[in-house]
Structure 1
Amino acid sequence: MMILHGYWRSSASYRVRIALALKGVAYKSRTWDLRHNAQYSPDLVALNPMSSVPVLQTDQGPLTQSMAIIEWLEAEVPEPSLLSDDPLISARIRAAAQVIASDVHPLNNLAVLKKLRGMGHDESQLSDWMHHWMQRGLAAFQTMISDKGDFCFGDSPSLADVCLIPQLYNARRWEMDFSSLEPLVAVEARCLTHPAFIGALPENQIDAIEEIPT
């Protein structure tokens, strides 16, 4: 059985948990406490030289980077698809997903926050930083999705939904203003009634603990 190396509140790990659940793929979990620098353990570095999660350990070796892992899952387990039969729609799904995975999340992750704190920025400045990039990215994402169906691109979850929900979870932790994002909030509400999304929630993971926002 595959092993997913992750952390309960890692947005990238959260994406992969959702995708695995949507595909109905069984796996075991191994958790790494990023708050206490477990990502620098030699055991994890041996799997991922970037010292980060998620890592999906398969019988063919470890896979890293959440989007690459999900693309591999899409190829290995085609149904249900997270893309579209229409190549143009698939490109739009990928583009929306990458707004979050490439443009927003890298500026909001734990390593960036630790660096900003180390440079002397206070918590108010960190909050402003987080809100700026999340608001900008989510506003763009909102204009890119379809206005038809229950999810971002129709009546079933896509790669865009897989990326959206963890980012909204992070935005709520940082108490971001959602008043201009009603369509995304509506998609979120529908996703969070789906068993795959419910099971992947951070608070439903075996390593979940109560922590102050960081």
Structure 2
Amino acid sequence: MKLYGYWRSSCSYRVRIALAHKGLSVEHAAVHLVKDGGQQHAADFTQKNPMGQVPVLEIEGDGGPVRLGQSVAILEYLEEAHPEPALLPSDAVLRARARQLTEIVNAGIQPLQNLRVMQLLERQHGVDAKAWARGHILSGLLAFQAVAESVAGRYCVGDAVSFADCALVPQLYNARRFGIDVEAELPLLHRVDTACAALEAFQAAHPDRQPDAQPS
């Protein structure tokens, strides 16, 4: 398997966590989202993913390489193709809750602080993109916390790592980048994040541990 991603991309980060959690070996191919006008827009990359986005997971299919885009679709593939150790609970309601929490991040928070959106806001509308992102990240994470309160244990959903943790930890990394005091404003999520940070899979997936990491 080969993962095309960017060290600080939260969507790439999610997939790295899942791969590490499942103990899967993968080749990493860096796609710099800023250099050269954004390498994700280059023709050789858009052939792999017409959306021009990371991550892309390349796997071997019967007829040659198969390339999967969209981080949550990749998580679902990994869970089906490599079910152990699981990233979804066995209980149907809790599985749905894990997916709900994942989508709060995937659909409700991350798109509003996406690099392309922030660049558009600044260049075409004169918006303070960092303030915009900070507000939407915090409101979304407060909603995430409210939903998680009824199901959280050591992790987002009970005492086993799930998709929700794969989504939450990268989003908290972004939250801190935008100046949000996670410990003070999101205590439940801070506790879950601390528990995740003790796990080898989350340590290995951290942006600062990636081959293409740049000094902050």
Interval of TM-score (by shorter of Structure 1 and Structure 2): over 0.9
Runs of 4+ off more than 4 Å: none
Shift of 1:210: 1.6
Shift of 1:104: 0.3
Q: Which residue of 1 aligns with 2:121?
A: 116
Deviation per CA, 1:115-157: give whole Å up to 9, x if none.
Answer: 11211425xx222211111111100100111455210111111
TM-score w.r.t. length of structure 2: 0.93
Q: Does 1:10 align with 2:15?
A: no
Q: Which residue of 2 aligns with 1:31?
A: 30
Shift of 1:94: 0.3
TM-score w.r.t. length of structure 1: 0.94
Provide the C-alpha distance between the structure 2 equivalents of 1:100 and 1:112, rounded to a whole number of angstroms: 16
Q: Which residue of 2 aligns with 1:138?
A: 141
For 1:185, what is the secondary structure of its paired residue? helix
User: Any gaps of 5 or more consecutive residues in structure 1?
Assistant: none
Pick from 153, 158, 163 the counterpart of residue 154 of structure 1.
158
RMSD: 1.1
The number of residue pairs the alignment matches comes to 208
Provide the C-alpha distance between the structure 2 equivalents of 1:110 and 1:127, rounded to a whole number of angstroms: 10
Provide the C-alpha distance between the structure 2 equivalents of 1:80 and 1:121, rounded to a whole number of angstroms: 47
The letter of the residue matching 2:115 is: L
Q: Does 1:200 align with 2:205?
A: yes
Pick from 120, 126, 149 the counterpart of residue 129 of structure 2.
126
For 1:153, what is the secondary structure of its paired residue? coil
Deviation per CA, 1:159-202: give whole Å up to 9, x if none.
Answer: 10000000000010111133220010011011001000000000
CA contact (8 A) 2:119 2:129 kept: no
Provide the C-alpha distance between the structure 1 equivalents of 2:44 and 2:76, rounded to a whole number of angstroms: 25
Q: Which residue of 1 aligns with 2:169?
A: 165
Deviation per CA, 1:39-66: give whole Å up to 9, x if none.
Answer: 0111110110000100000002000000
For 2:109, what is the secondary structure of its paired residue? helix
Q: Which piece of structure 1 moves more, 102-111 or 170-179?
A: 170-179
Provide the C-alpha distance between the structure 2 equivalents of 1:7 and 1:121, rounded to a whole number of angstroms: 27
The letter of the residue matching 1:38 is: Q
Pick from 54, 74, 79 the counterpart of residue 69 of structure 1.
74
